[in-house]
Structure 1
Amino acid sequence: MEAELAALAASGATTLVGLMVSETWAQARDRVARFFARGGDENSVGEELQLSRQELMAARAARDEFAGSDIEAVWRTRLRRVLLADPEAAEELRSVLAELDPDARNDPAVSVHNSISGGVQNGPVFQGQHFSGLTFGGSGAVPPEQGAGAV
């Protein structure tokens, strides 16, 4: 059961950090603050969430790839503690995620077809549905052994 709660906390933290950089953050923040406060001080939790968002936005502007992971880890730990302290919170968190996660509202049965043709591909190829924040540092140069006329 603890592995299930850990997975739910991880999913929740990933969704939370994703929402922090979305247009729907204001509504999401209020809903998440109510979940964490659980009858306590929503304003305090709301301020913590807002601070995390500001840190995340500053890190993105500075191209700090690790800050997002750090912020996500903090909220994953907090979610896990809430779930361990109150087993009924798991169902509430699932409900919150279903409300706030845009992917949860989409039809999960999506068919993806990708084709790669035309010879040798000298770069990464990804197959999937949703990608964000990908950065590649390749020079674009073709290795000599794979250049034009190579056998």
Structure 2
Amino acid sequence: MEAEIAQLVTTGATTVVGLMATEAWTQLRSRLAGLLGRGRDAEEVSAELEEIRVEVVRADGDEELVGDQTAELRNRIRRLLRQDPRAAGELRELLAEFAPRQPQSVEVNHIVNTVSHSTVQGSVIQTGLRK
């Protein structure tokens, strides 16, 4: 169970940081502030989340800065789940609602190349289209 919570913490923080630069952020921010701010002023927590978002947007490709902000969110989520393990269900619901939809399955095409009775000298380039 601990591994499942650790995965949820990591997934939650990474997903939230990814959504900070999208139109969904406004709705997510208020709901996430309510979740993270249990016992605190939701406006204050929302402002703190907005500060993190500003850093992420300004990062402009600075992976270290984005990583630092992701770590900050991971720590907040981890503290929340330690204080209230029931919050895991609420976090899962938020992620399911706001996270970009992932394909349910990936189609795998097998390609077999055979060269018979000859020698190929030079480059071979193979490409494929995904359906």
TM-score class, shorter-chain normalisation, is 0.7 to 0.9
Aligned length: 117
Structure scoring higher RCO (CA < 8 A, sep ≥ 6) equals 2
Give runs of aligned pairs for residues 1-150 of structure 1, distance below 5 A: 1-60=1-60, 63-103=61-101, 106-111=102-107, 113=109, 119=124
Percent of aligned pairs with the same residue? 45
**Mapped partners of 2:99, 2:36: distance in 1:** 17
**1:130 maps to what in 2?**
none
Q: Deviations over 1:68-107 (max 9, x none)?
A: 111001101110111111111111111111111122xx55
Return 5+ residue gaps in structure 1 as ranges: 122-151
**Greater CA radius of gyration, 1 or 2?**
2
Q: Deviations over 1:93-146 (max 9, x none)?
A: 11111111122xx5512425597x96269xxxxxxxxxxxxxxxxxxxxxxxxx
Query: Matched residue of 1:102: which SS?
Result: coil
Structure 1 runs (4+) greater than 6 angstroms displaced:
none
Unaligned runs of 5+ in 2: 114-122, 127-131
Calculate the aligned-residue CA RMSD, in Å. 2.5
Contact 1:5–1:84, Cα closer than 8 Å, also in 2: no
Going from structure 1 to structure 2, the CA distance change for 1:68 and 1:81 (only over 3 Å counts) comes to: same
Q: Distance in 1 between matches of 2:22 and 2:107?
A: 26
TM-score normalised over the length of structure 2: 0.78
In the superposition, relative to structure 1, how do residues 91 and 112 fare at CA in structure 2: closer, same or farther (>3 Å)? same
Q: Distance in 2 between matches of 1:112 and 1:21?
A: 32
- The amino acid of 2:27's aligned partner reads Q
Q: Provide the C-alpha distance between the structure 1 equivalents of 2:56 and 2:13, rounded to a whole number of angstroms.
A: 13
Cα distance, 1:38 vs structure 2: 2.4
TM-score, length basis structure 1: 0.68
Classify the secondary structure of the residue corresponding to 1:55: helix
